[in-house]
A = this chain, B = another copy of it.
Amino acid sequence: MLQSQLFGKTRKEAPSDEVAKNAKLLIRAGYIDKLQAGVYTYLPLGFRVLKKIEAIIREEMDAAGGQEILMPSLHPKDNWETTGRWDSMDDLYKVQDSSGRENALGPTHEEVVVPLAKQFVFSYKDLPLALYQIQNKFRMELRAKSGILRGREFIMKDLYSFHRDEADLAAYYEKMKGVYKRVFERMGIGAVTHLTFASGGSFAKYSHEFQTVTPAGEDTIHVCTKCGIAINQEVVADQKACPECGSDELTQEKAIEVGNIFELKTKYSAPFNLTYKDEEGKDQPVIMGCYGIGLGRLMGTIVEVLADEKGIVWPEEVSPFQVHLIDLSGKNEELKKEVQDVYEKLSAAGVAVLFDDRDLRAGEKFADADLLGISMRAVVSEKSLAAGGVEVKYRAEQEGKIVSKEEFFKLFVR
């Protein structure tokens, strides 16, 4: 992709109404645009990152036996009255059509997925079952000032699991802890993301959050210095020791909840009377779990955690392009041909390249490259050619290095 044709330009200043670092950087770099508080458009660069995040999550959910579906946003009022949440959920958007029918705009999908499962789950042979979707959610947030960390409209992966008994749920729940850990590791925030014990509500002793430590966090967690497990504010009010290893050495941190997993048990299957017949033909309640990750929130968190004073730093797996190729040839036509040739060879090999072909000074191009944060930057210049080839610099590292053209192309062979 030619940068001169990319929709979304870099800006020197962030809009004055944005306070969150993630929004400031993502807007300045041309990844997102704010339509109104808590409601953003993903521009081409941001959309590419979102698709990368989505692909990782999809891969991991499929590997965990999840079957992908797509549920709607317009939910009949009846379904929400069945669970009592039509009245109890404060941040539920409600919309009425001209015939007076009322709908909720889905902020979560238990009210849809349980009646759906009821149509196809009859016997113990139909269990276990795991359904997920990656879909737009709506929540009437009154304070939407955290950029894409907390939106009024946002994309979530929500998976719902259905089991014959609590033991089967428990085994799947444990497995999902590992799946989530891997997702956050692949996003480059594994080291600062802690499995966090949270209150389980009325059904389970605990639920679990995945909390990423950063000053931008709206939550407070207490991290065990021995085992790395954390507990949230609610839990720390009741107990002062780590529920995993028993240590009482906890350090308080600000953190962002990037995911959560919850043993719902019969909380939603009971009101919809979702049951199955066991081997003896006896009706048994279906036991459920749910597992959420916010994709935009995750993208914002990666920015908050990894950005430096020069701009965004994407880990390789979510970088919008594999390489940011900078043309510094200026009026040197021979060199321009050489750089162009590198761009064409990479493109022909299927490498996702952003090619900075803009008519700007080197300093401006490098500053934009740092702001955009593509994981690898490559320069073919008189200097690099004199030194033996291509200057490669990883965004997360301080120093670049010269590699031969041959070695350079080999970097992209998978």
Using a CB–CB cutoff of 8 Å, the interface residues on chain A facing chain B are 6-9, 33, 35-36, 39-44, 47, 50, 67-76, 90, 93-95, 97-99, 105, 112, 116, 119-120, 129, 131, 136, 138, 140, 142, 152-153
Given A74-B138, A76-B35, A94-B95, A112 and B6 contact (CB-CB distance below 8 Å): no
User: Are A153 and B67 in touch, CB under 8 angstroms?
Assistant: no
Cβ contacts A to B, 7 pairs, < 8 Å = A7-B131, A8-B120, A41-B116, A44-B68, A50-B70, A74-B152, A95-B105
Report how far A35 CA is from B101 CA in the complex, Å: 14
Central interface residue in A36, A72, A98, A99, by most chain B CB within 10 Å: A72
For A99, the chain B residues whose CB sits under 8 A away are 142
CB-defined contacts of A36 to chain B, threshold 8 Å: 74, 76
Q: Are A93 and B93 in contact (CB under 8 A)?
A: no
Q: Is the beta-carbon distance between B75 and A116 smaller than 8 angstroms?
A: no
Given A8-B120, A69-B41, A71-B41, A112:B35 Cβ within 8 A: yes
Closest partner residue, chain B, to A93 (CB atom) = B95
Query: Would you give the shortest CB distance from A157 to chain B, in whole angstroms?
Result: 14
Residue of A35, A120, A131 with highest tally of chain B CB at under 10 A: A35
Q: Which residue of B lies closest to A125 (CB)?
A: B4
A7 near B72 with CB under 8 A, answer: no
A7: which B residues are within 8 A, CB to CB? 67, 69, 120, 129, 131
- Which residues of chain B come closer than 8 Å to A42, judged between CB atoms? 69-70
Chain B residues with CB under 8 A of A152: 74, 97
Count of identical protomers in the assembly:
2
When distances are taken between beta carbons in the complex, the residues of chain B under 8 Å from A68 are 44, 47
How far, in whole Å, are A6 and B69 apart by their CA atoms in the complex? Answer: 12
In the complex, residue of chain B having the shortest beta-carbon distance to the beta carbon of A119: B33
B69 and A47 contact, CB distance less than 8 A: yes
Alpha-carbon distance between A25 and B79 when the two chains are bound, in angstroms: 26
- Please name all residues of chain B whose beta carbon is closer than 8 Å to the beta carbon of A39 when the two chains form the complex: 72, 74
Task: Decide if B95 touches A70 in the complex (CB within 8 Å).
Answer: no
A131 to B288, CA, bound (A): 41
Docked Cα-Cα span, A119 to B76, in Å, equals 38
Chain B residues with CB under 8 A of A41: 69-72, 112, 116
Given A95-B105, A97-B140, A98-B142, CB of A35 within 8 Å of CB of B75: yes
A67, A112, A138 — most chain B CB neighbours (10 Å): A67
| Residue of B with least CB distance to A36 | B76
Q: Do A33 and B74 have beta carbons less than 8 Å apart?
A: no
Q: Is the CB of A72 within 8 A of B153?
A: yes
A-B CB proximity, top 8 nearest: A42-B70, A95-B95, A44-B67, A39-B72, A41-B71, A7-B67, A97-B140, A72-B153
Note all chain B residues with C-beta closer than 8 A to A136: 73, 136
Determine the chain B residues whose CB is within 8 A of the CB of A140 once the complex forms: 97-98
Interchain CB contact (< 8 A) of A116 among B33, B120, B153:
B33
Within the complex, the shortest CB–CB distance from A81 to chain B, in Å, comes to 14
Report the bound CA distance from A362 to B356 in whole Å. 60
